[in-house]
Amino acid sequence: MDARYRTVILLVIFFVSAFAVRLATLQLGSSEWKEKAEALTSDRYTIPPSRGQLFDRHGELMVGSKATHDLMVLPKALPKEEGWEADAARWAGMPLDDFEAAVQKARRYSIHKASTVRKGLTIREHALMAAELHRYPGFSFRTRPVRNHLHNAAGHLIGEYAETSAEDLSSDPFYKLGDRIGRSGLEKVYELELRGVKGRESVFVDARNRIRDTSAVQDGDRPAEPGLDLQLTLDLDLQLLAETLMKGKKGSVVAIEPATGEVLALVSAPSFEPSRLVGAERGRYYRELLKDADKPLFNRAIKATYRPGSIWKMVQGLVALDEGRIRPSTRFDCDRNLIGCHGPHTFDNLSDAVVHSCNPYFYRTMQRVVTAGQGAGRFERAANGLDHWRERVTAFGFGTQLSARLPGTSKGNVPGSAYYDGIYGHRRWDFGTIYSISIGEGELLSTPLQMANLAAILANRGWYHQPHYVRDMGGKGKPSGLGVRMETGVEARHFTPIVQAMRNVVDEPTGTGRRARIDGVSVCGKTGTVQDEPRKDHSVFMAFAPMEAPQIALSVYVENSGFGGEWAAPISAILIEQHVLGGVRDSTRLARILEADLSDPYPEPESDDPVE
């Protein structure tokens, strides 16, 4: 065999043998590579879904999502030596005691699962800490979506998206420690639709819990599915304007589209900034809101109950007309010995009685309905007559939640015979005992939502769609069961004198609602002044417009501000201008509302000095 050929063969054998020996050494004897191989372990990560976004009725984004970062710790990967905590606490931007408490809490929860040490890092904090992350084994960052309130609007309606509680974690396996859930408002009502479906991803991580390889696919891995978007019924421009008008005041605004029952605006004042209930400052801000004596977290629009006052007289008139107990031409003396009244009128028909808000007229009107009840004796007739009256009234939505899906919606109170039996004893009362409810006082209670719905009923001459807040879900149209049409049972012809009276309330020079007058728009309204002694009265106004082709029905409450036409009526007019005309025309009226200081709920003390 040629010498050169033998040399080549020997070299090949030598290099192959050397490679085999080295390979065996690495596999069997080298601790360095064994440690590196063991350090890369498989882990499965949850991929959070994108939460559904919220848009207004015109497609304007109101609430989206943005990324925030949390500092996490994996206890099993922390250094074994002592003395590292002080430097790590400085890096984490936390007091040492708080940092150590967070780490100990994580150890108690699980040494094998990452827990949160600090939530809601700012972009700058995250960037500075990430540059030094390699110095702190066991720590990592978690990126999660939080709500982004682009306009800081409709906080009471939209609600809060907050961290899960222990009860949430135990009742639904979807949620893990640190997850968020709809805690109130629409965020809570549509939680299942908004939250989406979590994904799963398998990865290789090193000893410091850093992802080294994303190719470790396992059974069950899947992408996250985003939640469904909601298109709300709100008109964002109208909502923002209403919130601006109610700044510095206590009360509410509810506006409804009469033809559909879609809520155009829903405001409770004072309000809060929903964007501040997201992120690191949430806890401090939430405590401030809880301590505020004006209760900014309380949704007055759907939860507060007030005596309806003079506005209730229209309901009394409609029920009596439909029952045949009065006619539009029926007149009663304004007998002020029967019940107190005001103004120069003396012998009104129905329309004039609405305009003048004549108390004796509606005392007599309800008396005719209640005393027409069947039974033996006046007490039994009064009880049966009241229950029949109550049945007619609840058909207007009073005494009900109006099938609202918003948590905490109040029913108000429409008393029947059982209610008064509980107070006075079984059948030991008659109409003379309970007459105050005939003029919207006494035990009768309603909500601003119910009053706005009454305005929609009057606009439609006898029917309404149940008020609702969602127009479309996931591009598939309105959720089932929303906006059901309801009938009051009152014939449309009976609404004519009432609606004309509402027009006169606004248009007549002496009308109590003249501050709601708008050139070129036929506004139909009714003032209400609700007593709240010893504080000033509540100013209330309900209206719809235009008269013949209604586009908006609304109620406005301004607490402890005085007469109904003084503040609630002009606020209503501004909102009607915005919605019907596309903008506010009366700048003087707008300036008056914006500059008003209604912070003092108590009336001025009467002076003992003679008036000059």
Q: What is the DSSP string of 226-294?
A: PPPPEEES--HHHHHHHHHHTTT--EEEEEEETTTTEEEEEEEES---GGGGSSTTHHHHHHHHHH-TT
Instruction: Please work out, in degrees rounded to the nearest 5, the angle formed at the alpha carbon of residue 533 by the alpha carbons of 530 and 534.
Output: 145
Average pLDDT over residues 52-69: 94
Output phi, psi for 407, to 5 deg. Answer: -60, 140
Q: Which residues of 254-279 are buried (b: 16+ CB within 10 A; e: fewer)?
A: bbbbbebbbbbbbbbbbbbebbbbbb
* Model pTM score: 0.86
Residue 314: CA count within 13 A, CB half-sphere: 29
Residue 439 has pLDDT above 80, yes or no: yes
Residue 7, exposed/middle/buried by CB under 10 A (0-12, 13-18, 19+)? Answer: exposed
Tell me if 264 sits within 8 A of 234, measured CB to CB.
Answer: yes
How high does pLDDT run on average in the chain? 90
CA atoms within 13 A on the CB side of 321: 25
**Binning pLDDT at 50, 70 and 90, where does residue 612 land?**
very low
More confident residue, 198 or 38: 198
DSSP 357-401: T-HHHHHHHHHHHHTT--SSSHHHHHHHHHHHHHHHHHTTTTTS-
Q: Where are the domains of the chain?
A: 44-81+102-232
**Alpha carbons 544 and 233: distance in angstroms, whole number:** 18
Query: Is the model's pLDDT at 165 over the cut of 60?
Result: yes
**Token pair 């109610």 is at which residue?**
246
Of 472 and 605, the structure prediction assigns the larger pLDDT to 472
Q: Which of 517, 529, 609, 592 is nearest to 561 (CA)?
A: 529
> Is the model more confident about 565 or about 365?
365
Task: Quote the percentage of the chain above a pLDDT of 70.
Answer: 90
Output the pLDDT for position 609: 43
Right CATH number for 44-81+102-232 from 3.20.20.60, 3.40.50.300, 3.40.630.30, 3.90.1310.10?
3.90.1310.10
pLDDT of 598 reads: 87
Average pLDDT over residues 459-480: 97
Minimum mean pLDDT among 310-314, 402-406, 494-498, 505-509: which range? Answer: 402-406
Average of pLDDT values for 566-574? 97
SS3 115: strand
Q: At what angle do helices 236-245 and 568-576 cross, to 10 degrees?
A: 160
Q: Residues 52-74: what's their mean pLDDT?
A: 94
Residue with the larger pLDDT of the pair 417 and 220:
417
Please, is 455 exposed, middle or buried when counting C-beta atoms within 10 Å of its C-beta (0-12, 13-18, 19+)? buried
The pLDDT of residue 424 is above 80: yes
Q: Is 607 exposed, middle or buried (0-12, 13-18, 19+ CB in 10 A)?
A: exposed
CB 403 within 8 A of CB 383: no
The one-letter amino acid code at 578 reads: Q
How would you classify the pairing of strands 552-558 and 251-257? antiparallel
Confidence of residue 135 (pLDDT cuts 50, 70, 90): very high
pLDDT of 37 strictly over 70: no
Question: Hey, which residues does 162 pair with through a beta bridge?
Answer: 181
Beta carbons within 8 Å of 599's beta carbon, 6+ residues apart: 248
Please report which confidence band the pLDDT of residue 540 belongs to, taking 50, 70 and 90 as the band edges: very high
Mean pLDDT of 405-422: 95
pLDDT band at residue 212, thresholds of 50, 70 and 90?
A: low
Cα angle 7, 13, 15 (rounded to 5 degrees) comes to 100
Quick: pLDDT tens for 278-305: 877 888 999 999 999 999 999 999 999 9
pLDDT at res. 529: 85
pLDDT, residue 2, reads 67
Which pLDDT value is given to residue 209?
52
Cβ atoms within 10 Å, residue 486: 19
Three-state SS across 334-348? Answer: CCCCCCCCCCCCCEE
